[in-house]
Chains A and B, each alone.
Chain A
Amino acid sequence: MSTAALTAHDDSPDHRASQRTAVFGMTIFLASEAMLFAGLIAGYIVLRLSSPAWPPSPDLPKLPVLLTGINTVFLIASSFAFHAAEVAVKKGKSGVAWLLVTVLLGSLFVGVQAYEWYHMHHEGLWFNQGGAYGATFFVLTGFHGLHVIIGVLMIAWALIRQLGGAYTAQSHTYLILAGMYWHFVDVVWLFLYSVLYLV
């Protein structure tokens, strides 16, 4: 591959074109990701609406609205932190601190979700317990959690590379792409939190 273009830390038209292309490609990919979650959420809605009661049985545990609400705030905050990192990089600063904050908040979100899984399992809800209620909860949050973990790893990688000063104000395509993915995962979570916990 033409590594010459890769190392072009400049404002050249080639670099800007390749960045535009990459952003466009990421947008298309996120459209397909949106359809993946749309399929899962549609399945959830059908199962929930066709169930006479939700949760299907009164002895099944309720989902922790407040704890997850706080966790949601962590995730949203991480999006802002990432944005701050991007702004810093664009201004020619390193942005490492904000990247670190993003990784920590993202990890915190995963940690709280893991605790919640453990807790719900303890209360008698699991993939195979609690019927469609348990199945949808674990599969939907599981799919999303997997996306968050991938996002955290992507941003952690950006952090490691930025410690070596990989991204400059002109050249930071990877950061832009990681950011798009990360914001997307956050927005999906708002939908999931609304339909799974709040409604």
Chain B
Amino acid sequence: MSTSATTFIPESGQAAAVEHGHDEQKQSFFSKYIWSLDHKMIGLQYLWTSFFFLLLGGLLAMGIRFQLAYPGMPVPLIGALLPSTIAIDGVILPGGYNMLFTMHATVMVFLVVMPLLIGGFGNYLIPLKIGAGDMAFPTLNAMSYWLYVLSGVIILASFFVDGGAAQSGWTAYAPLSSTPAYMNNTQMGQSLWCVGLFVNGLSSIAGATNYITTITNMRAPGMTMFRLPLSVWSLYLTAWLLILAVPVLSAAAAMLFADLNLGTTFFAAQGGQPLLWQHLFWFFGHPEVYIMILPAMGLVSEILPVFARKPIFGYKAMVWAMVAIGFLGFIVWGHHMFVSGMNLTLGAAFSVSTMIIAVPSAIKTFNWMGTVWRGSIEFTTPMLFALAFVSMFVIGGLSGIFMASTPVDLFVHNSYFIVAHIHYVLFGGSLFGAFAAIYFWYPKMFGRMMNETLGKIHFFATFIFFNLTFFPMHNLGLGGMMRRIADPTVYEHLRALQPINVFVTWAAFGMGLATFIFLWNFIWSLRHGKVAGKNPWKATTLEWTVPSPPGHGNFETTPTVYNGPYEYSVPGMAKDFLPQNERAPEGARLEVH
């Protein structure tokens, strides 16, 4: 805590910002790229690190798909490199398969989607969008990033310890996860999983504290809460969910760690309560679902108006819908547990509360459609991804309603129907939203545009292969295929479905390959992209009023905000957009005052 006094100095003053601009040249490599306190650099650190884990998580997914299509065959190319806990002579072991799906989900949830959307875009955009020089607590911010890296290292390291990585699924249901005798000697890996998630939680809490404080205290003059861009609102609400949900996972992970290493019996079948784990985990786990989708919703809400040249439809309804989703997200966790032996009356209550979430979700969907309705739409890559986000979210949302209904869930629970659902909301939702945001804010981050042609190839390849991969999983699930089985061909009733598994696997490979188009575009455009200028998309929010990339301290003088964030095609104005820091000309009829 010795440096805490330095930590808590907000850099809101414009004097400080300008002063910082001057000593930018003098920064050492270490203080600029490694222990940077600049929110933009920290945002980019998050971005690059999450790309690394995206590749890792994707590779694990390819392993899963290979095994499901060709069980018992050696993995080509990289099979020999796999640790002996996963594969022997390239043939994936049943326990190794457990490791693959457990770590695929753990990596994607905690090391890719959260850091990418919240760490990356949250850090980069919040101060720029609210007109602040930096985050409220820059040191805490840097610490949050390095705790994330540490958690990633711990989780990675678990592959190489005695017995290998955790095998109990990302949900780590007890007593499977808490009893060493049940888990193929992965006690060490499971323990590291607990530690990794605990450290990851510290990172999230540090980041969330920063976001809430920054958004509450450091908005530029005139930036009222209802003039905040929806992306900032979404990150603000997400931060609250993190503050309230993540510590419960930390508590549960600590108890699980104690069960594994200190001989306690929190979650043991004898003398403990295995169901307690599920309650604690899902008390975190369901808000976590919204933690991963809300930022994507916010970012997409930012992109649709720009490329439809229209104000967002129902700004306040969008805000209140997110508030409602955030709140309801805390009282629906039991819908993950309908078959757990939980009290059935309680199940009915969870069923109803879950269905109520469909209301604010539908409000958002209709408002997105209202936003693009009769707009002059430009189908740029970010717009395509944003529109894909909306449509994939609808599919994922609708299959969610199926499962919210207890009787239907009894049938589809633990089947590939669930796997299809989660990927429609998490990949088709969160990750498509993230791609939209990357294409959209890349010019601000690096001063150059990404290549549109490559972007569109990436989009269509990803979109098509995504649907070819995950839509048939609904059929697999309804056909009776269970989750988390290493070899579907040993089950009589699944043999007829095996061609679908092979098909899905090849589609997944196509989707994996499409990612390299994206990475190539990302890296190539750093040097060769078209120079972007301040405001290539003709957008209204404050980040587009400063140079690309913005200098240290962001704004030369603190901006004053006069308008809402979505003043496009304002009647009575010659220009078709009105930046937030420009006064409306005489006769302009604004959307939000």
Contact = CB atoms under 8 A, between A and B. Distances in A.
Contact of A43 (B242, B266, B271): B266
A168 to B, nearest CB: 13
A173 interface: yes
B139 A1 contact: yes
A14 B248 CA distance: 36
Interface string B1-42: 110111011111100100110000000000000000100000
Contacts, number: 147
B399 interface: no
B49 interface: no
A127 B247 contact: no
A132 B271 contact: yes
Contact of A36 (B19, B247, B265, B279): B247
A143 interface: yes
A177 B3 CA distance: 13
B267 to A, nearest CB: 9
Interface string B213-230: 100111000000000000
A27 B264 CA distance: 33
Given A24-B213, A35-B244, A29 B8 contact: no
- Which of A36, A38, A153, A174 is the most central at the interface, judged by chain B CB atoms within 10 Å of its CB? A36
Interface in B229-261: 242-252, 254-255, 258-259
Given A21-B213, A21-B217, A127-B263, A143 B16 contact: no
A47 interface: yes
A56 interface: yes
Interface in A41-61: 42-43, 46-47, 50, 56
Contacts of B2: 157
Interface in B133-155: 136-140
A44 to B, nearest CB: 9
Contacts of B140: 25
Interface string A133-173: 01110110001000000000110010000000000000001
Contacts of B242: 32
Q: Interface size class for chain A?
A: 35 or more
Interface in A85-138: 127-128, 131-132, 134-136, 138
A47 B273 contact: yes
A127 B258 CA distance: 8
Given A42-B279, A47-B266, A132-B266, 14 more contacts: A2-B19, A6-B6, A17-B12, A18-B10, A21-B8, A22-B8, A25-B136, A25-B137, A32-B247, A35-B244, A46-B276, A47-B272, A127-B262, A153-B1
8 contacts: A1-B6, A21-B217, A32-B242, A35-B243, A39-B280, A135-B258, A153-B1, A177-B4
Interface of B: 1-2, 4-6, 8-13, 16, 19-20, 37, 136-140, 205, 208-210, 212-213, 216-218, 242-252, 254-255, 258-259, 262-266, 271-273, 276, 279-280, 283
